Amino acid sequence: MQQKLSFLCFTSVLMVVMVYSPAAEARPDATTKFSVIRKENPNNSKETLILPYAFPSETMGTTLGVGGLAKGYRQDQLLFGGTVFGSFDDAYGIIGGMWDYRLPWTKRFFFTAYGALSHFPRQRAYTEVPRRSSDSRPPPAGSNNSNENDFIEDEGDDNLLELKLEYVLPMGSMKDSGMAEYHLENGLLQSGATGGQTWNPLKSGVSVLLLGQTSRYQNYQTETVTYSGDEFPFQIGYLYDNTDFPTNPSMGSSQYVAYKKDFSNSDNGSWDFLEFETSKYFNLNTSRFSRQ
């Protein structure tokens, strides 16, 4: 099992930048596809943002970077985003991609691709390496009874390419269209809700099938040998999002189930992963301190 703190550290920065993307939140890989019409600016669906940032990190040191996004160009739901960063401890990287590109001549197929090239001065991995434990036959690194200090930590690369193909099923609120259209005023939903009242995939909500593949190339360069942390998992998933407004729900629920399998022959070995996520939202109405 590997520690992915370095990679998560800078990808979380990109996710903060992409405040307009449903994929930017800690939610399932599959998402509802939609466009937003704001009452304050109903004739312009294009949005851009450039944001410089800085943060300290134990694994990267003091890091500086800049991120940006552009949404609504060519297709209302299409998002382009990216970031570059560097640190005073010789960490550096670039991330970029596009999210939710509707394939030509289709109404329900959406393609996402993004990747990263990066180098970190301190990458940590719990793997089969010479032990730091005093036991003659310690348990395997990363297992329940292993020593918490049983890891390697050295510099190395961490590169990623992720591809996703999603299909919006012709059922529920998406029976007649592959994309939802939400109307907002002052950031709150006014019309276009796609769920929240009745739990029934055939009559309400959005159902999305996902097929994805991730290629992650990771290595740890110790003084004597380079360890591989490469992974190439495939994923198939199903999302039922029955919330009123997926980006900022006030009612309804969401369920996601997926199966992932890795076929790599790296030092990590192959693995299987069954994922289930669910959430429920309740509308607490307005108050003196909030509009929602």
| Within a domain: 290 | no
The fraction of the chain above a pLDDT of 90, given in percent, is: 52
Residue 10: the pLDDT is: 40
Question: Taking a C-beta distance cutoff of 8 angstroms, is the pair 74, 103 a contact?
Answer: no
| Number of separate domains in the chain | 1
Write out pLDDT tens, residues 43-91. 777 889 999 999 998 878 899 999 999 998 889 999 999 999 999 988 9
Comparison of pLDDT for 187 and 150, the residue scoring more: 187
Contacts of 161 (CB under 8 A, 6+ apart): 113, 114, 115, 214, 215, 216
| Within a domain: 287 | no
Q: Would you place residue 256 in the very low, low, confident or very high pLDDT band (cuts 50, 70, 90)?
A: very high
| Within a domain: 288 | no
pTM across the whole model? 0.81
| Within a domain: 291 | no
Residue 141: the pLDDT is: 67
Rounded to the nearest angstrom, the gap between the alpha carbon of residue 104 and the centroid of all alpha carbons in its chain is 24
The residue behind tokens 């629920």 is: 253
pLDDT averaged over every residue in the chain: 83
The pair of structure tokens assigned to 212 is 């994805």
Domain containing 93 equals 5-132+139-281
The pair of structure tokens assigned to 200 is 């029934």
